[in-house]
Amino acid sequence: MKKIVALSLGLILSLSALAAQVDIYSDYAIVREAWQANIPQGQKATFEWQLAENIDLGSLTILNPNIDILSRIEEKKSQLTGRIVKVKTIDGAIFQGLLREKGQEVVLVNPEDGQLVVIINSNQITSIIPETPINFNQKLKLKMKNNDKSLDKLNVRYLSRGISWNVLYSLQLDGNKANLVGEYQIENNTSKPFEAASVRLIAKGDSLPMLYGRSANVMKASAEMSLDVSQQAESAIYEIPGSIDIPAEAKTRLPLLKENNLQMERRYQMINNRVEVEVTLNGISQTLPAGQLNIFDGDILASTQYLSSQPQSGRLVLNLGETLDIAGRREQIGYSTSGNKIVEEQKVTLKNNKKEKVTVDVTAYLPWENAIVKSKVAYKRTSANTVVFEVPVEANKETSFTYSVSYETK
């Protein structure tokens, strides 16, 4: 009988959980952990837990299949007692002091000498404003019945805000070699730490990229996009080996990869009157989560880009944007018609200010699929409406070539 009575009493427990499983998304986490709750077989018991303020109680699920929840009470209470606050009343009066509890009344005292400032009926108060920001705690009270064998823990799953992750990369280009280094960054802005946790990082569908390069015409996108979980499928899961600690209110950095001596190819391509730099990395041995990528060309920061998630293909192609070392200009130097036939003549001039010889791929777009291209420079047709001229340019030299495009209008 004593055993049953003891179990029926409410037990207030701090949230000291066993090792948790934490799935971290872009701006929230799904946590699976075990709470202490000793319930013998076939018995009823009531437990109370003090919870961190970031736990979404609306998402809390009890994973033990044979536990019946008989009642559930959720309370949220601010930690105002013992803090300096400003109290406003319905008649417009404002009082400031150290808050003390006294039943249905609010008591303010002078924090320096402890002398009474004012006693206010709680019904007359319109707001209580703390001098410094505060956290809220939550209390969950569950009355449960165990329909199976005795258990000493309650397995739960819930959503927690304030936890996020991202990836930061640094790419060093040097001649025809490249080094790529990456690290995970897990940020916990909550008051709840996780110790010896099993962690997975969940990547969702990428938003539009944000690029900053040498080009003046850069792509931009909002970094703050609304999260619609129902319309985003998982694109990748990255499991952190072993278990790690995630301290409260801290940023944790973990190594992701270090790829040395990657083979690198550099390509220059002229589109319209812009010459852009494209680099191709070969030999990457793992998938790359989305993240910020800083690209150093020698000792110069060439570009900062948002890298979308990359599958494990071993190959990565990056556009660094417009180069100022190579100038390109295209101009029309002739235009003639004969019946339905039109002939256009173009002149392309390239100036190489580099100390080494380069080859520039000059792209030309054709107005019709049946267009005929003529030039002394070799070219290849990459599509029905596109040709590419491969033009070598000596170091610190300028070169030019012409081509004609003839086609018949319909």
Is 317 part of a structural domain of the chain? no
- What pLDDT sits at residue 94? 93
Cβ atoms of 242 and 197 within 8 Å: the answer is no
Query: Which structural domain range is residue 56 located in?
Result: 2-77+137-161
36 and 154 housed in the same domain:
yes
Is 281 part of a structural domain of the chain? no
Is 320 part of a structural domain of the chain? no
Could you list the beta-strand ranges (E) of 80-193.
84-89, 94-102, 105-109, 116-121, 125-130, 136-146, 151-161, 163-174, 177-188
- What pLDDT sits at residue 53? 76
Instruction: Classify residue 113 as left (phi > 0), alpha (psi -120 to 50) or beta.
Output: alpha
200 and 247 housed in the same domain:
yes
Is 169 part of a structural domain of the chain? yes
Number of Cβ atoms within 10 Å of the Cβ of 65: 8
> pLDDT tens digits, residue range 272-294?
889 999 999 998 888 888 899 99
192 and 124 housed in the same domain:
no
> What's 63's domain CATH number?
2.60.40
333 and 305 housed in the same domain:
no
> What's 352's domain CATH number?
2.60.40.1170
Last residue of a domain, one of 244, 278, 310: 310
Is 197 part of a structural domain of the chain? yes
Nearest to 75 by CA among 160, 136, 128: 136
72 and 26 housed in the same domain:
yes
pLDDT class of 209 with cuts at 50, 70, 90? very low
> pLDDT tens digits, residue range 96-152?
999 887 767 889 999 888 899 999 988 888 888 888 766 667 889 999 999 988 888
- What pLDDT sits at residue 228? 35
> Based on the number of CB atoms within 10 Å of its own CB, is 146 exposed (0-12), middle (13-18) or buried (19 or more)?
buried
Share of the chain above pLDDT 70, in %: 85
- Which is higher by pLDDT, 231 or 52? 52
> Based on the number of CB atoms within 10 Å of its own CB, is 271 exposed (0-12), middle (13-18) or buried (19 or more)?
middle
Last residue of a domain, one of 126, 145, 161: 161
- What pLDDT sits at residue 155? 93
pLDDT class of 331 with cuts at 50, 70, 90? very high
Is 321 part of a structural domain of the chain? no
252 and 168 housed in the same domain:
yes
Beta bridge partners of 107: 100, 119
208 and 86 housed in the same domain:
no
| Mean per-residue pLDDT, 233-262 | 86
Could you list the beta-strand ranges (E) of 272-355.
274-282, 291-297, 300-307, 315-322, 326-338, 341-352
> pLDDT tens digits, residue range 122-136?
888 888 888 876 666
Domain total in the chain:
4
355 and 401 housed in the same domain:
yes
- What pLDDT sits at residue 7? 26
97 and 174 housed in the same domain:
no
Put simply, whether the predicted model's pTM sits higher than 0.75 gets the answer no
215 and 198 housed in the same domain:
yes
| Dist. CA 275–CA 266, nearest whole Å | 13
Is 282 part of a structural domain of the chain? no
| Mean per-residue pLDDT, 233-257 | 86
> pLDDT tens digits, residue range 44-84?
999 998 888 788 888 999 999 999 999 999 887 666 778 88
Per DSSP, helices labelled H in 168-253 are none
- What pLDDT sits at residue 134? 65
- What pLDDT sits at residue 329? 95
Beta bridge partners of 13: 49
pLDDT class of 381 with cuts at 50, 70, 90? very high
234 and 104 housed in the same domain:
no
234 and 179 housed in the same domain:
yes
| Mean per-residue pLDDT, 378-396 | 94
Is 363 part of a structural domain of the chain? yes
